[in-house]
C-alpha cells in the first residue's frame, strides 16, 4: 500500500492539472462566499439569514472543482492509457483505488480546510459591517470557531468536500470517461435540488432534499432554524457518506471485473 501511495503522490506532484486544481478549490470557494456575503447587505438589523451558512456558501461551487480533481485522479489515466501501466505495476486494483481514495481525500481535506477557514474569516470581517452577524438580537452573530454550532458547520463543511471527492472518485471508477463522470456527479449534486424546487408536493420535495447528496450534506452548515431543515446536520452528512460509500463500492466492483 505504501508503495502504491507513493506512486500516486508522485503522479499528483508531476501532473500540472492537479497542481492548479488544488488552489482553485480555495480561490473559488472563498470568492463565491465573499460575493454572497457582500450581496446580503441589510439596512437596520439583519435579514434573518444564517450568517454561518451564508459565509460558507462558496462550498457549493468549490465542490465542483473537487469533483474535477477526483475524476481526473483515475479517468485522467484512463484517457492516456497510463491506467493500464498502473495496473501492470500494481495488479491489486482495489489497493490502487484505495490509494487514490486516500490521496484524493487527503488533498481535499487540506485544500478544503484552508478554503472553509477563509470563508469564516471573510464572514467575520464583512458581515457585521453590512447589517448581518452583528448580534442584533435575532440570533445572528459573526461566525466564531468558539461557538459550538459554528465549529460543527466548519468541520462538517470540510468533511462534506472530502465526501464529495470520494463520491466523484467512485463514479469515475465506474464510468470510464472523464466528461461523462463529471457530468453525472454534477447532475446528481445540482440538478436534483432544482427538480425538488420545481415539485409542488411539499412532502415529496422534503423527501428529495432529505436524501439528495448535496441538500442532505449541506444541512451540516445550518446554525439557525434547525427544526425547519428536512434532515438534521449530522444525519444529512451521514446520508452523503452513504452515497460516497455506495459509489466507491460500485466503482471498485466494476474496476475489479473489467479490463482497464
- The pLDDT assigned to 76 comes to 66
Beta bridge partners of 141: 134
240-250, pLDDT tens digit by residue? 999 999 999 99
What confidence score (pLDDT) does residue 73 get?
84
**Residues 99 and 89 sit within 8 Å (Cβ to Cβ):** no
From the number of C-beta atoms within 10 Å of its C-beta (0-12, 13-18, 19+), residue 187 rates as exposed
- Any long-range contacts for 181-185 (C-beta under 8 Å, 24+ apart)? 181/71, 181/75, 182/67, 182/68, 182/71, 185/67, 185/71
Q: Which residues contact 218 (CB under 8 A, 6 or more apart)?
A: 59, 60, 160, 236
CB burial of residue 177 (10 Å; 0-12, 13-18, 19+): middle
pLDDT-flagged residues of the chain (< 50):
134-139
Per-residue pLDDT of 11-26, as tens digits, reads 777 777 888 999 999 9
Find out whether 133 and 190 touch, Cβ atoms under 8 Å. no
Percent of the chain scoring above 70 in pLDDT: 84
Say how many C-beta atoms besides its own lie within 10 A of residue 126's C-beta: 19
pLDDT recorded at residue 112: 97
**What is the pTM assigned to this prediction?**
0.90
Domain ranges of the chain: 2-257
Instruction: Determine the pLDDT at residue 114.
Output: 98
Please tell me the predicted confidence (pLDDT) of residue 2: 75
Amino acid at each position: 500500500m505504501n508503495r502504491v501511495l507513493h506512486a500516486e503522490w508522485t503522479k499528483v506532484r508531476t501532473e500540472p492539472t492537479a497542481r492548479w486544481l488544488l488552489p482553485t478549490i480555495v480561490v473559488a470557494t472563498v470568492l463565491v462566499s465573499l460575493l454572497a456575503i457582500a450581496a446580503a447587505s441589510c439596512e437596520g438589523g439583519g435579514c434573518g439569514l444564517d450568517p454561518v451558512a451564508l459565509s460558507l456558501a462558496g462550498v457549493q461551487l468549490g465542490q465542483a472543482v473537487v469533483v474535477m480533481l477526483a475524476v481526473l485522479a483515475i479517468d485522467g489515466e484512463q484517457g492516456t492509457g497510463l491506467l493500464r501501466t498502473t495496473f501492470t505495476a500494481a495488479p491489486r486494483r482495489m489497493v490502487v483505488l484505495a490509494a487514490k481514495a486516500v490521496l484524493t481525500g487527503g488533498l481535499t481535506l487540506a485544500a478544503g480546510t484552508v478554503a472553509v477557514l477563509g470563508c469564516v474569516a471573510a464572514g467575520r470581517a464583512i458581515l457585521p459591517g453590512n447589517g448581518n452577524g452583528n448580534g442584533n438580537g435575532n440570533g445572528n452573530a459573526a461566525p466564531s470557531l468558539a461557538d459550538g454550532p459554528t465549529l460543527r458547520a466548519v468541520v462538517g463543511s470540510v468533511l462534506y468536500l472530502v465526501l464529495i471527492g470520494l463520491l466523484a472518485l467512485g463514479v469515475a471508477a465506474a464510468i470510464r470517461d472523464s466528461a461523462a463522470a463529471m457530468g453525472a456527479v454534477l447532475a446528481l449534486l445540482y440538478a436534483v435540488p432544482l427538480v425538488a424546487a420545481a415539485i409542488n408536493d411539499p412532502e415529496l420535495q422534503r423527501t428529495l432534499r432529505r436524501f439528495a447528496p448535496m441538500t442532505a450534506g449541506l444541512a451540516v452548515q445550518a446554525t439557525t432554524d434547525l427544526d425547519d431543515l428536512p434532515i438534521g446536520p449530522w444525519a444529512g452528512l451521514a446520508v452523503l457518506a452513504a452515497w460516497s460509500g455506495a459509489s466507491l463500492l460500485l466503482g471498485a466492483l466494476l474496476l475489479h471485473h473489467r479490463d482497464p
